Amino acid sequence: MKVAIVGTGYVGLPTGVGLASFGNDVICIDKDSQKIEALQKGCLTLYEDGLQKLFNETVQAQKLSFTTSMKEGVSGADVVILAVGTPPHPETKEADMRYIYAAAEELAPFLKNYTVIANKSTVPVGTGDAVEEIITKTNPQADFDVVSLPEFLREGYALYDFFNPDRIVVGANSKRAKELITKLYEPFEGKTNMLFVKRKSSETIKYASNAFLAMKIHYINEMANFCEKSGADINEVAQGMGLDKRIGHKFLNAGPGYGGSCFPKDTTAMALMADKFGVDMSLIKCTIEGNKARKKQMAERILNTVKNIENPKIGVLGLAFKNGTDDTRESPAIEIISHLIGSAHIVAYDPKATSNARKIFGSQIEYADNIDSVFQDADAVAVLTEWPDFKTIDLKKAASQMRHKNLLDLRNIFPKDDARLASFSYQNIGS
């Protein structure tokens, strides 16, 4: 099958590599010419575990190619996947649909034979109808269907999730489109749940899922606040809760709040979408506000440990919004650091996300190229991303390098006793 992917970012690129590995002829399109040039030269434009190897193999097998030309990419495609961004609109904070609508208008003239336009971007309910209208208006002769094919991959595990999805949701209103998508996902037959629903249901499933996971995180964070006051321990509480199969262990890690390119924008978009329909989603609204406040509270917690120190140095471990990715979009670390700037000298280390953080903070903070430099002469060190490398830090050595031994483990990665044995004044979350 010939597959064109419009938008070669965190979703488009791993999807392209995955579909090419099944033997499809995949062409990834992006309007960012620097990105396409780098990919054509074999350089990945984002970090994902295992991606480089499969990328090299599929390119070498001539199953995967890259272009900035919509004409070259879309002409003759059986399926065109939309994977462009839907960031929050700068003013309304609703999903900004300009990239989707532009892509629909740009691709329409090149539709010749029957084509399925499959939307993987996270979009408000009814977007499929709007895309259909744009394409029909731009190219009245086009023979096509628009389906919703929401993406559930986790950054950091994008390839793993591509090959091992919990479910594939397809929102298709036509039998012909359903058959073509079934063929595209044939390699998953019998291996995962394939759910065919109405297009509007499919669009809603994505927002409903993300909002639910965000609420779960906010819930455990509020429970952590309760544990700190009551003398309980959130790790033990989460373990006990998670053993209930109706609840499960996932998304019960208390921390500095959720971030990333999806949860913050998708919860806001969901709440605003509901407002438009006259439905009050108070749970989601509470989650959004509580999560925003949490990052500020975490920064205050850190500053509190150095409040009587002149010209304090604060070390930061982690800049990415979670481990396994270089993505710093809406990262709690970024938000927390922005509250610290001006009150302390910040030295931060991240194994993958430094160059993205540098684009945000420039010279306002110092970037370390190793963990030791973060602890050296620091008055406090805060763990803001749960990278596995951080878990194996020699705590005794780290403590001996510091001026004041304040360790704020906002991801609960260290055993409490180890930190105290290393003579840290140690604070974690929820105990």
Per CB under 6 A, residues contacting ligand NAD are: 6-12, 29-32, 35, 83-86, 99, 102-103, 106, 120-122, 151, 153, 155, 261-262
Strands 193-197 and 313-317, by their bridges, are unpaired
Min separation Cβ 280 and ligand NAD, Å: 24
3-class state of residue 105 by DSSP: helix
CB closer to ligand NAD, 259 vs 430: 259
3-class state of residue 57 by DSSP: helix
296/336 Cα distance (integer angstroms): 6
Residue of 396, 424, 429, 401 whose CA lies nearest to 413: 429
Residue of 203, 209, 299 whose CA lies nearest to 262: 209
210/116 Cα distance (integer angstroms): 26
CB closer to ligand NAD, 6 vs 384: 6
Kindly state the DSSP code that residue 278 receives in the 8-state scheme: T
As given in the structure block, the two tokens for residue 307 are 């409040």
Please enumerate in sequence order all residues whose Cβ is within 8 A of that of 183, keeping only pairs 6 or more positions apart, or say none. 1
Q: Which amino acid is at 165?
A: P
Which of these is catalytic: 28, 43, 227, 262? 262
Min separation Cβ 364 and ligand NAD, Å: 24
CB closer to ligand NAD, 137 vs 176: 137
CA angle 307, 311, 312 (to 5 degrees): 60
CB closer to ligand NAD, 9 vs 351: 9
Closest residue (Cβ) to ligand NAD?
9
- Active-site residue flag, 227: no
Question: Scanning the structure block, which residue is given the tokens 């455990």?
Answer: 220
Min separation Cβ 52 and ligand NAD, Å: 17
Min separation Cβ 59 and ligand NAD, Å: 18
Residue environment code for 259-287, b if the CB has 16+ CB neighbours within 10 A, otherwise e: bbbbbbbbbbbbbbbbeeeeeebeebbeb
CB closer to ligand NAD, 99 vs 110: 99
Min separation Cβ 193 and ligand NAD, Å: 18
For the annotated catalytic residues, the residue numbers are: 262
